[in-house]
Chain A
Amino acid sequence: MVAVSAIALTCGGCALSTPYAGEGPHNMQVRTTTDAGEPLAATRAWLAVQRVTSDCRGEVEGEIYLRGPVDSLHLPVGRLSNLVFKFRTSSLLSQSSGMTSYSTLIRPREGHAYEATVDYRSGLFTVDLIEIAPQRASPRKLLRRDIANCATD
């Protein structure tokens, strides 16, 4: 029974519905660290990339596991994407798991690189996104933008 519970909690619902297959040179790196902060508990993180429709809704293009320490992917240049970072923390002790998410819009520019730092620690998490110019000038921190306001971008 314990083994069945363990499998259900750690792997239940963890199969990616649509693996992300962004084709092109990788222009984004994601640095991920997770620590559930409890014994016999673990936090998984993954990223859903959504294309943004004209009425500011997100349509899933695909998802990628953030296995860490560094994952990379290609984001379409010149158009809006909605990045949805998802966290799922499972605990064997409580036989439960919880899932939450954080999203932000991004419009990648030609020749620029992007770096996301994702840190989940004991129920608190941060997602920081920076843009690095081609000549490696000082990186620019990107502020979070909500998909509901996509028309103003």
Chain B
Amino acid sequence: MWAAGNRGKTFASLRKFTSIGIKFRLSCGESRLEYWGMTMRGRATRACPPALHACLHRAGESLAAARKRRSQITAPEWLAFLAAASVLLAGCAATTPEDFRQQVTSGAFGSAEKLDVDRSLRDVAAVFRERSSACLQVRTKRYGGPAVRYTMQVWDYTPTVVATDTRVELHLQAKYDGLTLYDQGKNGAYVLLAQATPLDARRTHLEVWTLAPRSDTLRDAVMGWAKGSFAGCPDLS
């Protein structure tokens, strides 16, 4: 990851800046975009916020820190960053469950898990309703960055449970509270989709697709609810 995982590389790139040319490289997972002078090339990623958003946020923080340390790095670098972020984020937010499922299946930022549980579909639906209301309807805050530029991200999470006789789905969407370079939709982009289908009267098949900075805890919690082995909440911050 360009900013968070390899700051040395970040500053190596920044050192190439001159008064007549700018080189800007942004790489988040599989996606990469390079900016050099007035030429920009890249490809939009299939990944969704908040994973990609967090990556870009950290890239911005690094740029800010570099700006503090190197007075010659000024507005053009920010413009390059914004241009790069715009291209990366264009059209990336999954605002339907099916888009999200496809993105996770084909992308690099998500995971898909399958599980059979010894509970009826009705019980799984009930626990999804109760726990999602208690644990997933939250606003989280994330603080970070170097001490010289401490920043805050606020995310609003919205769960939805859709139940029929043959299927129960738990959806979780995350919306960034602030300026974004992509269309978030009403409740934000999807970060989790759990689909439960009955195997028989007492057993249920569960598939969980996740996409979040801390997707392990979220996935573990949802699977724990379905199995009946966990009754707490995941920390979505």
A interface vs B, CB < 8 Å? 1, 4-5, 8-9, 12-13, 87, 89, 94-102, 104, 119-120, 122-127, 144, 146
Contacts and interface: CB of A to CB of B under 8 A. Distances in A.
B150 A8 contact: yes
Given A100-B237, A123-B217, A123-B234, A94 B144 contact: yes
A144 B141 CA distance: 23
6 contacts: A100-B138, A100-B140, A100-B237, A102-B135, A123-B234, A126-B233
A61 to B, nearest CB: 20
Interface SS of chain A: helix, strand, loop or mixed? strand
Interface of B: 4, 130, 133-135, 138-147, 150, 214, 216-217, 220-221, 230-237
Nearest to B150: A8
A98 B142 contact: yes
Interface SS of chain B: helix, strand, loop or mixed? mixed
Contact of B141 (A5, A98, A104, A125): A98
Contact of A97 (B138, B144, B232): B144
A5 B65 CA distance: 13
Contact of B235 (A9, A125, A127): A125
Contact of A144 (B134, B145, B220, B235): B134
A144 B216 CA distance: 25
A152 to B, nearest CB: 14
Given A102-B134, A144-B134, A146-B133, A13 B143 contact: yes
